[in-house]
């Protein structure tokens, strides 16, 4: 039987895993047009495939070779954290972070920023601060770092790991939390003001199982933020898995339920301890879960080779210590090539209305997800390419009784009446059938936006 990417998709996981167990050479040959790298394979459905990068490894030719070949999104593993970027209060240090950002951008890769505010990895001067002095120092940090990298970051982990483990579903105690429960939303507003075009994410671990109290706690926060217009665009699921913390059977449900709140979801620090076919199967399960959720925009693994991992002894990554592809690499690539439904229909919450127009060949369509409350609204516009890729796009919207007060991921002309939006550099290219999003917030009513897209 000749295997095409479609027929591979239909083979039960067990069969794929059995093949993977025997060795990489026996894995079903990819279809003639299948992509041969993780980044290219993810791009087929408009997604990315990224990795964490350490600045001090960029000179390692094996490491840099795999990085440049396989990945199209980069996260600094440690170099953008608070202790690295503001070692002394008011003195910012971007050398190592810049090496990663510049290397990525020179290679045409995008960057996830990690992380603006976190209870951990605080510089010494911040660790013992409290009250308004700490609140102001945190806000200044968010503003300075997001401003410095303005325009260069696809998505920021604005706040990292702010919820407690265990059964309560509440916030983690920390010096930042003790400045007041609103510290997270204030950080998000500061980040939006500093870099209006970056997607702003909340990022955490142990939030993969829908039944866990921590997952529910984060969900309620995101739901609350969306209902009050706090600028949040995405939720990151770190997804550090091992036998004590396995991939939950409801993982896809979790991703979908968060996406249904009107945010993108991203797998931000994936690693799965193990080896051979068991590990390969688990990577495939995670990849398929992302592909099945239209707002799951990409996957990042937390390092390149096993030896690069913070959990090196658990061999949790896609390349072995010598840089060879593991069975988990092949199963992940196969899953990406088999594809998944990037569903251009916007999923909406009860307070949301959706309109869309069908793409015609070579053109594009736009749909709106509107979150309206008494005095204002947040609109997310999804631009979907027709049967040809887009190299640039324009969307017009109508605002009869509202005014735009802020926007992201598009340039704008006008703020009421007919408002015209065009792509920014990083979202000009949309693959055939793929999609990208921009958004805006406004005062008044966002009813009747009626977005119309043209390729430009």
Dihedral sign, CA of 149, 150, 153, 157? Answer: positive
Binding-site member from 121, 307, 388, 411 for ligand G2I (CB under 6 A): 121
Residues 276-315 that bind ligand G2I (CB under 6 A): 310
Which residues are bridge partners to 372 per DSSP? 377
Smallest separation, CB 91 to ligand G2I (Å): 20
Q: Does 269 bind ligand G2I (CB under 6 A)?
A: yes
| Rounded-to-integer distance, Cα 231 and Cα 359, Å | 29
Q: Does 264 bind ligand G2I (CB under 6 A)?
A: no
| Rounded-to-integer distance, Cα 28 and Cα 372, Å | 49
| Rounded-to-integer distance, Cα 78 and Cα 398, Å | 44
The catalytic residue positions are 269
Binding-site member from 103, 122, 238, 441 for ligand G2I (CB under 6 A): 238
**Looking at beta carbons only, is 205 or 219 nearer to ligand G2I?**
205
Q: Does 435 bind ligand G2I (CB under 6 A)?
A: no
Residues 158-217 that bind ligand G2I (CB under 6 A): 205
**Looking at beta carbons only, is 205 or 258 nearer to ligand G2I?**
205
275: Cβ contacts below 8 Å, ≥ 6 apart:
315, 326
Smallest separation, CB 29 to ligand G2I (Å): 35
**Looking at beta carbons only, is 307 or 450 nearer to ligand G2I?**
307
| Rounded-to-integer distance, Cα 258 and Cα 266, Å | 10
Smallest separation, CB 119 to ligand G2I (Å): 10
**Looking at beta carbons only, is 77 or 209 nearer to ligand G2I?**
77
Smallest separation, CB 83 to ligand G2I (Å): 9
Q: Residues touching ligand G2I: how many (CB under 6 A)?
A: 8
Q: By the 8 A CB rule, do 109 and 74 touch?
A: yes
Pairing of strands 73-76, 110-118: parallel
- DSSP class per residue in 108-140: T-EEEEEEEEESSS--HHHHT--HHHHHHHHHH
Which of 112, 153, 56, 61 is CA-nearest to residue 302?
A: 112
List strands edge to edge, sheet with 402-408.
354-355, 364-372, 376-385, 435-444, 402-408
Smallest separation, CB 404 to ligand G2I (Å): 35
**Looking at beta carbons only, is 195 or 269 nearer to ligand G2I?**
269
**Looking at beta carbons only, is 310 or 426 nearer to ligand G2I?**
310
Residues 332-371 that bind ligand G2I (CB under 6 A): none
Count CB-CB contacts under 10 A for residue 139: 19
Smallest separation, CB 253 to ligand G2I (Å): 23
**What character string, x for contact with ligand G2I (CB under 6 A) and - otherwise, covers 390-429?**
----------------------------------------
**Looking at beta carbons only, is 63 or 440 nearer to ligand G2I?**
63
**Looking at beta carbons only, is 120 or 321 nearer to ligand G2I?**
120
Residues 50-109 that bind ligand G2I (CB under 6 A): 77-78
3-state SS, residue 151: coil
Smallest separation, CB 341 to ligand G2I (Å): 29
| Rounded-to-integer distance, Cα 393 and Cα 452, Å | 10
Smallest separation, CB 241 to ligand G2I (Å): 12
**What character string, x for contact with ligand G2I (CB under 6 A) and - otherwise, covers 3-42?**
----------------------------------------
Q: Does 120 bind ligand G2I (CB under 6 A)?
A: yes
Helices 183-194 and 131-148: crossing angle, nearest 10°?
A: 30
Which of 299, 301, 302, 303 is CA-nearest to residue 321?
A: 303
Count CB-CB contacts under 10 A for residue 48: 22
Binding site for ligand G2I (CB under 6 A): 77-78, 120-121, 205, 238, 269, 310
């Amino acid at each position: 039987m000749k295997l095409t990417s479609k027929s591979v998709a239909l083979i039960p996981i067990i069969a794929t895993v059995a093949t993977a167990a025997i060795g990489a050479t026996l894995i079903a040959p990819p279809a003639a047009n299948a992509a041969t790298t993780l980044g290219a394979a993810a791009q087929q459905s408009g997604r990315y495939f990224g990795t964490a990068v350490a600045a001090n490894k960029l000179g390692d030719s094996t490491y840099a070779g795999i990085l440049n070949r396989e990945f199209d999104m980069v996260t600094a593993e440690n170099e953008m954290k608070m202790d690295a970027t503001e070692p002394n209060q008011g003195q910012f240090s971007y050398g190592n972070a810049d090496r990663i950002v510049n290397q990525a951008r020179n290679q045409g890769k995008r960057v996830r920023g990690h992380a603006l505010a976190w209870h951990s990895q605080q510089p010494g001067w911040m660790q013992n601060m409290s009250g308004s002095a700490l609140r102001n120092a945190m806000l200044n940090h968010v503003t300075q770092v997001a401003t410095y990298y303005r325009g260069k970051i696809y998505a920021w982990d604005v706040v990292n790991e702010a919820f407690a483990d265990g059964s309560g579903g509440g916030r983690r105690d920390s010096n930042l939390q003790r400045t007041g429960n609103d510290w997270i939303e204030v950080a998000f507003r500061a980040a939006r003001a500093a870099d209006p075009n970056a997607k702003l994410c909340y990022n955490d671990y142990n939030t993969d199982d829908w039944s866990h109290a921590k997952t529910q706690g984060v969900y309620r926060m995101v739901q609350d933020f969306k209902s009050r217009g706090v600028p949040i665009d995405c939720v990151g699921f770190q997804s550090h898995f091992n036998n004590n913390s396995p991939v939950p059977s409801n993982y896809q449900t979790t991703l979908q339920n968060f996406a249904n709140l009107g945010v993108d979801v991203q797998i931000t620090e994936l690693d799965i301890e193990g080896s051979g076919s068991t590990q390969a199967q688990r990577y495939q399960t995670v990849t398929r879960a992302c592909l099945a959720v239209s707002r799951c925009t990409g996957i990042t693994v937390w390092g390149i080779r096993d030896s690069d991992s913070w959990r090196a002894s658990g061999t949790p990554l896609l390349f072995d210590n010598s840089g060879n592809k593991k069975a988990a690499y092949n199963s992940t690539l196969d899953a990406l090539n088999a594809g998944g439904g990037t569903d251009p229909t916007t999923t909406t919450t009860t307070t949301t209305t959706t309109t869309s127009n069908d793409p015609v060949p070579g053109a594009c369509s736009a749909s709106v997800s509107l979150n309206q409350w008494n005095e204002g609204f947040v609109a997310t516009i999804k631009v979907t390419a027709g049967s040809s890729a887009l190299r640039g796009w324009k969307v017009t919207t109508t605002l009869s009784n509202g005014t735009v007060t802020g926007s992201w991921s598009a340039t704008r002309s006008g703020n009421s009446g007919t408002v015209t939006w065009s792509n920014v550099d990083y979202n000009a290219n949309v693959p055939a059938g793929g999609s990208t999003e921009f958004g805006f917030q406004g005062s008044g009513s966002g009813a009747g936006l009626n977005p119309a897209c043209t390729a430009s």
